[in-house]
């Protein structure tokens, strides 16, 4: 019997999160006995070199380009095609289609990543959705504001990480909101959806969505929607969890998705569930690692691969533990010192910790996920509440001293002046 082959398209982005997700995808393929080929636009990039040992073959090519895809596939065959990055999901579907390999239909993936098209399909299927308008300038947006009730949300047509997303309470803030968009020539304005936000993580088995976790969210206050924390499994009443997961399942099937993994955002209140952005990849912000940690022995990618190969997937492991990720949110400013990080990041309950700013660095205004300066991911055998409490406590123990002399903990709270005139921590780094 010949060795089956897995093609993982696009490698990882430069973040530790993306590298970790791609490494798991590669290694879980090899654990199933698959020969794994990894492609990357730049095979020499540090994030790709960090993954080279986890693949059997590394090829430099951009399979988003039809010409490069045809040249690459000439004489090659793969049983499975996969990718962990948002930017590669259409290429994954197109490559699988060209090979006759299992996967989501190209049209379904295009629909899912294009937010207004997804909203239209969900509304046609009878799911609650906000009003939305595809706009090509301020005039289109103003016309939508005039015919609908606010507040509203201005967002890119296709983007992730809260990039360019702004809550709008009136026409007076429109110019500023448009200025935050990556492409003000084409964008969406939609009516604001109230309720608590969650995400739903899972995998397709036999063409049906199987939920592995519901994730509770924390967000920054203000006009943006930057996520500052995730906790799973979410502490939801069973009736609410059932409403949430059933509506997400309906949405996935209505969009025409049937294969691989999924990460779906949704809002829940006492009256309704409104499904938001739908992704054909695992959740960001370390959600993928937390799902696997809370279900010991579960591999998200291995489950998806086994299903696509028409094999009996490994038995779903039950939830045994809780996990939470909390992002550090000091205020903007130039940093004089950071104290307490080494102690916080080395605590035994920490699953992952990273800090991107130290003495001499600058904390930017937090307008998208990429502006966040650090995270602590914690796990707890006793459950989600303890995990989130631990992550928040550890973040609070980190102290940022800014150049203006003000001191703030990692949760952004202002602290009294220090008794010492000489800061410690990362001052000399």
At 422, is the pLDDT very low, low, confident or very high (cuts 50, 70, 90)? Answer: very low
At 405 the three-state DSSP class reads coil
- Per-residue model confidence as pLDDT tens digits over 6-15: 999 999 999 9
pLDDT for residue 323 is more than 80: yes
Task: Locate CATH 3.90.1170 in the chain.
Answer: 323-415
Query: What confidence tier does 182 reach under pLDDT thresholds 50, 70, 90?
Result: confident
List % helix, strand, coil for the chain (3-state, nearest 5).
30, 25, 40
Structure tokens at 223: 């006009």
Domain with CATH 3.30.1490.20 in the chain: 131-191
Residue 313 has pLDDT above 80, yes or no: no
Give the dihedral of Cα atoms 290, 296, 302, 303; nearest 10 deg: -90
Question: In this predicted structure, which of 156-160, 267-271, 400-404 has the lowest mean pLDDT?
Answer: 156-160
Q: Are 59 and 75 in contact (CB under 8 A)?
A: no
* 30 pLDDT higher than 60: yes
d(CA 319, CA 253): 25
Is CATH 3.90.1170 correct for 323-415? yes
**Residue where the block lists tokens 């002046």:** 417
CATH number of 5-101: 3.40.50.80
355-400 pLDDT tens trace:
999 999 999 998 888 899 999 999 999 999 999 999 999 999 999 9
Does residue 120 register a pLDDT over 70? yes
**DSSP 8-state symbol, 184:** T
Q: For the chain, give every residue range classified as CATH 3.40.50.80.
A: 5-101
Residue 425 is predicted with a pLDDT of 46
Q: What's the rounded mean pLDDT across residues 66-81?
A: 97
- 247 or 163, which is more confident? 247
Token digits for 34? 């698959």
pLDDT per residue over 40-63, tens digit each? 999 999 999 999 999 999 999 999
User: Does the pLDDT value for residue 345 go beyond 60?
Assistant: yes
Mean pLDDT of 282-294: 97
Q: What is the pLDDT of residue 314?
A: 75
CATH 3.30.470.20 residue ranges in the chain? 194-320
How far CA 207 is from CA of 144, 204, 275, 310, in Å, comes to 38, 6, 20, 11
Average pLDDT of 21-49? 97
- Per-residue pLDDT at 268: 94
Q: Which of 62, 64, 57, 168 is nearest to 106 (CA)?
A: 64
Contact 165, 155 (CB under 8 A): yes
Q: What is the pLDDT confidence band of residue 110, given thresholds at 50, 70 and 90? A: very high
pLDDT for position 423? 43
Confidence of residue 222 (pLDDT cuts 50, 70, 90): low
Alpha-carbon span 103 to 111, nearest angstrom: 15
Given this model, what pLDDT does residue 419 score?
A: 65
Q: Say what the pLDDT of residue 5 is.
A: 98
pLDDT of amino acid 420: 54
Superfamily covering domain 131-191: ATP-grasp fold, A domain (3.30.1490.20)
Q: What is the mean pLDDT of the chain?
A: 93
Are 196 and 267 within 8 A, CB to CB? Answer: yes
Cβ 18 vs Cβ 84: under 8 Å: yes
Range of weakest confidence among 22-31, 85-94, 224-233, 390-399:
224-233
- At 218, the pLDDT band (50, 70, 90 cuts) reads very high
CA dist 311 to 104, 191, 292, Å? 18, 44, 20
CATH of domain 194-320: 3.30.470.20
pLDDT bracket for residue 312 (50, 70, 90): confident
């Amino acid at each position: 019997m010949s060795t089956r082959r897995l093609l993982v398209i696009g490698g990882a982005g430069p973040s530790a999160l993306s590298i970790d997700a791609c490494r798991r995808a590669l290694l879980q393929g090899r654990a199933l006995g698959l020969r794994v080929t990894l492609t990357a636009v730049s095979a020499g990039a540090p994030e790709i070199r960090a993954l080279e040992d986890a693949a059997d073959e590394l090829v430099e090519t951009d399979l988003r380009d039809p010409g490069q895809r045809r040249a690459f596939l000439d004489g090659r065959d793969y049983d499975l095609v996969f990718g962990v990055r948002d930017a590669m999901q259409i290429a994954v579907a197109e490559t699988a289609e060209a090979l006759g390999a299992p996967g989501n239909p190209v049209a379904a993936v295009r629909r899912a990543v294009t937010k207004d098209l997804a909203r239209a399909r969900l509304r046609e299927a009878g799911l609650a959705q906000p009003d939305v308008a595809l706009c090509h300038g301020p005039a289109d947006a103003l016309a939508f504001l005039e015919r609908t009730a606010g507040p509203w949300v201005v967002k890119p047509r296709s983007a992730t990480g809260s990039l360019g997303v702004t809550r709008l309470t009136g026409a007076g803030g429109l110019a500023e909101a448009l200025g935050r968009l990556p492409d003000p020539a084409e964008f969406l304005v939609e009516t604001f959806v109230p309720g608590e936000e969650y995400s739903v993580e899972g995998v397709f088995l036999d063409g049906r969505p199987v939920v592995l976790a519901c994730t509770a969210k924390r967000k920054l206050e203000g006009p943006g929607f930057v996520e500052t924390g995730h906790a799973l499994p979410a502490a939801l009443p069973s009736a609410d969890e059932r409403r949430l997961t059933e509506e997400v399942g309906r949405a996935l099937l209505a969009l025409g998705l049937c294969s691989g993994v999924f990460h779906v955002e949704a809002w829940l209140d006492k009256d309704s569930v409104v499904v938001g952005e739908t992704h054909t990849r695992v959740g960001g912000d370390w959600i993928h690692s937390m799902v696997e940690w809370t279900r010991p022995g579960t591999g998200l990618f291995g489950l998806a691969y086994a299903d696509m190969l028409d094999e009996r997937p490994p038995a779903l492991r039950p939830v045994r533990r809780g996990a939470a990720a909390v992002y550090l949110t000091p205020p903007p400013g130039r940093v004089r010192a950071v104290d307490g990080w080494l102690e916080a990041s080395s605590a035994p309950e920490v699953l992952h910790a990273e800090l991107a700013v130290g003495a001499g660095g600058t904390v930017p205004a937090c307008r998208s996920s990429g502006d966040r300066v650090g995270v602590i991911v914690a796990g707890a055998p006793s459950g989600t509440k303890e995990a989130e409490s631990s992550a928040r406590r550890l973040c609070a123990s980190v102290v940022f001293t800014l150049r203006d002399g003000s001191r703030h903990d990692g949760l952004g709270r202002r602290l009294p002046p220090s008794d010492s005139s000489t800061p410690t921590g990362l001052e000399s780094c």
